[in-house]
Structure 1
Amino acid sequence: MRYPHLLAAIAFIAPAPLLAQALTPAETRTIDALVAKTLADTGVPSASIAVVRGGKTVLAKAYGKQFEGQKGPADPTLPYQIASVSKQFTAAAIQLLADEGKLSLDDTVNKYIPGITGGDTITIRQLLSHTSGLRDYWPQDYSFKAMATPTTPQGIVDRWAKAPLDFAPGTQWQYSNTGYVVAGMIVEKVSGQPLLDFLQAHVFRRLGIRALDQDKAVGPGFPQGYLRHALGPVRVETPAAPGWLYAAGELAMSPQDLAKWDIARMNRTLLPAKLWAEQETPVNLTSGASTGYGLGVGIGVKDGRRIVEHSGEAVGFLTENIVYPEDKAAIVVAVNAWFADAPGRIAKGIADVILPQPQASNPDAAALDRTKQVYAQLQAGRLDRALLTEDAAYYFTPATIADYRTSLSPLGAPSKIEQVGQTRLRGGFVNRSYRVSYPTRTLRISTYAEPGAQGRIEQFLVSPVE
Structure 2
Amino acid sequence: MLFRLFTLAALALPLPAIAQSLTPAESAQIDTLVAGSLRDTGVPSASIAIVRGGQIVFAKAYGKPSETIARADPALPYQIASISKQFTAAAILLLEDEGRLSLDDTVAKYVPGVTNGDRITIRQLLSHTSGLQDYWPQDYSFAAMATPVTPQQIVDRWGKKPLDFEPGTQWQYSNTGYVVAGLIVEKVANQPLLDFLQQRIFKPLDIRALDQDKAIGKGFPQGYGRFALGPVRPETPSAPGWLYAAGELSMSARDLAKWDVARLTRTTLPADDWAAQETPIRLVDGSTNGYGLGVSTGTTNGRRYVEHSGEAVGFLSENIVYPDDQAAIVVLTNSWFSDAVGRISSGIAKIVLPPPAANGEDAAALPRARAVYDQLRTGTLDRSRLTEDANFYFKPVALADYKSSLGALGEPTGFAQTGRARLRGGFVNRTYRITYPDRTLSLSTYAEPGASGRYEQFLVAPSQ
* Aligned counterpart, 1:325: 323
Q: What 5-or-longer segments of structure 2 have no aligned partner?
A: 357-463
Q: 2: CA distance between counterparts of 1:153 and 1:239?
A: 18
* Aligned counterpart, 1:34: 33
Cα deviation, 1:178-209, whole Å, max 9, x if unaligned, reads 00000000000000000000000000000000
Aligned-pair distance for 1:13?
9.2
* Aligned counterpart, 2:280: 282
- Secondary structure of 1:33's counterpart equals helix
Aligned-pair distance for 1:118?
1.1
Query: Are 1:78 and 1:254, in contact at CA under 8 Å, matched by a contact in 2?
Result: yes
Runs of 4+ in 1 over 4 A off after TM superposition: none
Q: What is the letter of the counterpart of residue 23 of structure 2?
A: T
* Aligned counterpart, 1:57: 56
* Aligned pairs (5 A) from 1:38-437: 38-71=37-70, 73-355=71-353
Query: Are 2:318 and 2:332, in contact at CA under 8 Å, matched by a contact in 1?
Result: yes
* Aligned counterpart, 1:455: none
Aligned-pair distance for 1:42?
0.3
- Secondary structure of 2:308's counterpart equals strand
Q: What is the letter of the counterpart of residue 65 of structure 1?
A: K
Q: 1: CA distance between counterparts of 2:13 and 2:202?
A: 30
Query: Are 2:18 and 2:354, in contact at CA under 8 Å, matched by a contact in 1?
Result: no
Aligned-pair distance for 1:356?
5.8
Q: 2: CA distance between counterparts of 1:328 and 1:70?
A: 34
- Secondary structure of 1:21's counterpart equals coil
Report percent identity of matched pairs.
72
Cα deviation, 1:337-361, whole Å, max 9, x if unaligned, reads 0110111100000000011679xxx
Q: What is the letter of the counterpart of residue 159 of structure 1?
A: R
Query: Are 1:83 and 1:314, in contact at CA under 8 Å, matched by a contact in 2?
Result: yes
1:17 equivalent to 2:19? Answer: no
* Aligned counterpart, 1:463: none
- Secondary structure of 1:207's counterpart equals coil
Q: What is the letter of the counterpart of residue 239 of structure 2?
A: A
Structure 1's 250 and 325: CA in aligned 2 closer, same or farther, altered over 3 A? same
TM-score, length basis structure 1: 0.75
Query: Are 2:13 and 2:301, in contact at CA under 8 Å, matched by a contact in 1?
Result: no
Query: Are 2:12 and 2:355, in contact at CA under 8 Å, matched by a contact in 1?
Result: no
Aligned-pair distance for 1:14?
5.4
Query: Are 1:285 and 1:291, in contact at CA under 8 Å, matched by a contact in 2?
Result: no
Q: 2: CA distance between counterparts of 1:287 and 1:110?
A: 25
Cα deviation, 1:217-270, whole Å, max 9, x if unaligned, reads 011110000000110000010000100000000000001000000000011011
Aligned-pair distance for 1:61?
0.2
User: Highest Rg: 1 or 2?
Assistant: 2
Q: 1: CA distance between counterparts of 2:344 and 2:238?
A: 26
Q: 1: CA distance between counterparts of 2:185 and 2:51?
A: 31
TM-score, length basis structure 2: 0.75
- Secondary structure of 1:206's counterpart equals coil
Q: 1: CA distance between counterparts of 2:227 and 2:16?
A: 43
Q: 1: CA distance between counterparts of 2:112 and 2:355?
A: 49
Q: 1: CA distance between counterparts of 2:28 and 2:116?
A: 54
Q: What 5-or-longer segments of structure 1 have no aligned partner?
A: 359-465
1:3 equivalent to 2:15? Answer: no
Q: What is the letter of the counterpart of residue 51 of structure 1?
A: I
- Secondary structure of 2:258's counterpart equals helix
Aligned-pair distance for 1:18?
2.6
